[in-house]
DNA sequence: ACTAAAACATTACAATTGGTATGTTATTAT
DNA sequence: ATAATAACATACCAATTGTAATGTTTTAGT
């Protein structure tokens, strides 16, 4: 019982350090050695807990990235309240509260999506699952708003969801190129206007 | 004189093969060896033409990626005509005409932006230059439309430009996760509507 | 024709890569 | 208390990485 906990703890430690390193430097740029140097453990420990580097990558996605998106981008969508201010919370306030690190390093999902080649199916499926969950939550919110006659019936909710997610992921990439927030502020102005025009 | 041409030809050959490989697999996933195997030349040839791998990466950006963006996304913006249909040409028609490869492999700029870590300044500058050029052309188009009273004066053109670019780059990433075009169609519906609402 | 330089090829190399084999130590069930 | 197993550490491996040194061949100016 105690062993089980310690095992899970080191597993999480490895995933933790890996997430940060992958996030900041990219998946391919970080070796197992570098991850384990950060944990102050050895390679032996790594291959005891993980089959290979791929398994670590998938664990980072499902154990860290997924929950990040769920907590920050999905959960707020499920709360009761004005759908427009909820949307602004998720797609605007979230960005305003970003740390310097989160601005410089971009979005963990987006980084991975664009780094991973089209041949690495397992990663794609894991990442797709997150995006799909996010998209679905958005559609539900928008459909509810539609039912309550808050947005026009001709609005294609799936389309709006994809557009919002795309723009969000897009700026987070673009922002990485700058060392100021001008581009984020431009984005914010545009999304806010876009969300208002849904009414 | 003839030698000069041949030299430039092999240089371009290396850049060509590198671009395709980087595009499909990612920059870090492709070694100098793999690039040169594709050119059927040797490493000696490579290091005769390039200082290091980094120089190749920068050459790919400025010699291939930049012109790609210029031809497809910037030049059409400079033509005379209805700004709204021009915008749709660039942000909609272009996507509709994508090859399967261009759908699966995403956007070359976006791939690089999100793969390259925040520490690799040279790459960032090269990529930023492209985005800035694109953004500027968009702003000019929108400002002209504003002058002609085609779009409302309260529209922030810089903001719209950033939003359009972000959404475009965003979907190209998201699309990589799927093996169908649903997400692209959703995006298209939304941008078209967004562009129309600029009037 | 001859020489210098450019365009490449060959070989070598230390460092790093992902991964394995084989240890040792701690924990647990009996 | 002991035997088994889990949690690691150590040492090793072949392959690949980016790069340098040193070749050879082609081209160009004289």
Of A26, A111, A163, the CB nearest to B167: A163
Residues of B in contact with A28 (CB under 8 A): 26, 28-29, 115
A76 inside 8 A of chain B by CB: no
A1 pLDDT above the threshold of 80:
no
Closest CA to B56 of B41, B35, B72: B35
Give the pLDDT of residue B1.
59
Does A165 sit within 8 Å of B170, measured CB to CB?
yes
pLDDT in tens, A145-170: 999 999 999 999 999 999 999 999 99
Average of pLDDT values for A74-83? 97
- Kindly give the interhelix angle for B108-115 and B121-147, rounded to the nearest 10 degrees: 130
A190 pLDDT above the threshold of 90:
yes
Closest CA to A47 of A73, A6, A72, A10: A10
For chain A, domains (ranges, CATH) are: 1-50 (1.10.10), 62-196 (1.10.357.10)
Instruction: Show the tokens assigned to B23.
Output: 């595009």
Do the beta carbons of residue A160 and residue A198 sit within 8 Å?
yes
Do the beta carbons of residue B170 and residue A170 sit within 8 Å?
yes
Contacting A residues, span 17-36, partner chain B, CB-CB under 8 Å: 24-26, 28-29
Of B128, B162, B187, the CB nearest to A187: B162
Question: B187 to chain A nearest CA, in Å?
Answer: 5
Give the pLDDT of residue B117.
85
Q: What is the DSSP string of chain A?
A: -HHHHHHHHHHHHHHHHHHHHHHHH-TTT--HHHHHHHHT--HHHHHHH-SSHHHHHHHHIIIIIHHHHIIIIIHHHHSSS-HHHHHHIIIIIHHHT--HHHHHS--HHHHHHHHS-TT-HHHHHHHHHHHHHHHHHHHHHHHHHHHTTSS-TT--HHHHHHHHHHHHHHHHHHHTT-SSSHHHHHHHHHHHHHHHTT-
Residues of B in contact with A25 (CB under 8 A): 117, 119
Closest CA to B115 of A98, A24, A58: A24
The backbone region for B96, taken as left when phi is positive above 0, alpha when psi lies in -120 to 50, beta otherwise, is alpha
- How many other CB atoms sit within 10 Å of the CB of residue B60? 26
Q: Which residue has the higher pLDDT, B1 or A25?
A: A25
pLDDT in tens, B181-194: 999 999 999 999 99
A128 inside 8 A of chain B by CB: yes
Where is B194: in which H helix or E strand? Answer: helix B182-196
Contact, A2 CB vs strand D, < 7 Å: no
Do the beta carbons of residue A24 and residue B117 sit within 8 Å?
yes
Burial of A78 (0-12, 13-18, 19+ CB in 10 A): exposed
Positive or negative: CA dihedral B44, B50, B56, B61: negative
A135 pLDDT above the threshold of 70:
yes
Average of pLDDT values for A121-135? 97
Q: What is the CA radius of gyration of chain B?
A: 19
Position A3 confidence tier, pLDDT thresholds 50, 70, 90: confident
Q: Nucleotide D19: nearest residue by CA–C1'? A: B52
pLDDT in tens, A97-124: 999 999 999 999 999 999 998 889 999 9
Name the phi and psi angles at A125, rounded to 5. -60, -45
A2 pLDDT above the threshold of 90:
no
Beta strands in B31-190 (DSSP E): none
Do the beta carbons of residue A186 and residue B158 sit within 8 Å?
yes
Contact, A10 CB vs strand D, < 7 Å: yes
How far apart are alpha carbons A120 and A122 in whole angstroms?
Answer: 6
Average of pLDDT values for A166-175? 98
How far apart are alpha carbons B187 and A161 in whole angstroms?
Answer: 9
pLDDT tens digit at each of 199 positions of chain B: 588 888 999 999 999 999 999 999 999 999 999 999 999 999 999 999 999 999 999 999 999 999 999 999 999 999 999 999 999 999 999 999 999 999 999 999 999 999 998 889 999 999 999 999 999 999 999 999 999 999 999 999 999 999 999 999 999 999 999 999 999 999 999 999 999 999 8
Q: Which residue has the higher pLDDT, B119 or A182?
A: A182
């Amino acid at each position: 019982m105690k062993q089980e906990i310690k095992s899970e703890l080191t597993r999480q430690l490895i995933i933790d350090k890996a997430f940060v390193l992958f996030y900041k430097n990219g998946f391919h740029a970080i070796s197992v050695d570098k991850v384990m140097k950060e944990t102050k453990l050895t390679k032996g420990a790594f291959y005891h807990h993980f089959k290979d580097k791929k398994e670590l990558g998938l664990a980072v996605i499902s154990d860290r990235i997924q929950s990040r998106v769920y907590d920050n981008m999905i959960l707020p969508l499920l709360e009761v309240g004005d759908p427009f201010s909820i949307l602004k919370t998720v797609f605007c306030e979230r960005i305003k509260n970003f740390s310097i690190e989160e601005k410089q390093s971009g979005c963990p999902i987006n980084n991975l999506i664009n780094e991973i080649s089209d041949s690495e199916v397992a990663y794609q499926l894991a990442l797709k699952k997150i995006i799909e969950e996010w998209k679905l939550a958005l559609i539900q919110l928008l459909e509810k708003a539609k039912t309550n006659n808050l947005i026009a019936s001709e609005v294609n909710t799936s389309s709006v969801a994809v557009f919002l997610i795309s723009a969000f992921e897009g700026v987070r990439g673009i922002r990485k190129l700058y060392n100021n927030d001008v581009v984020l502020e431009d984005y914010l102005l545009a999304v806010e206007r876009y969300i208002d025009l849904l009414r």
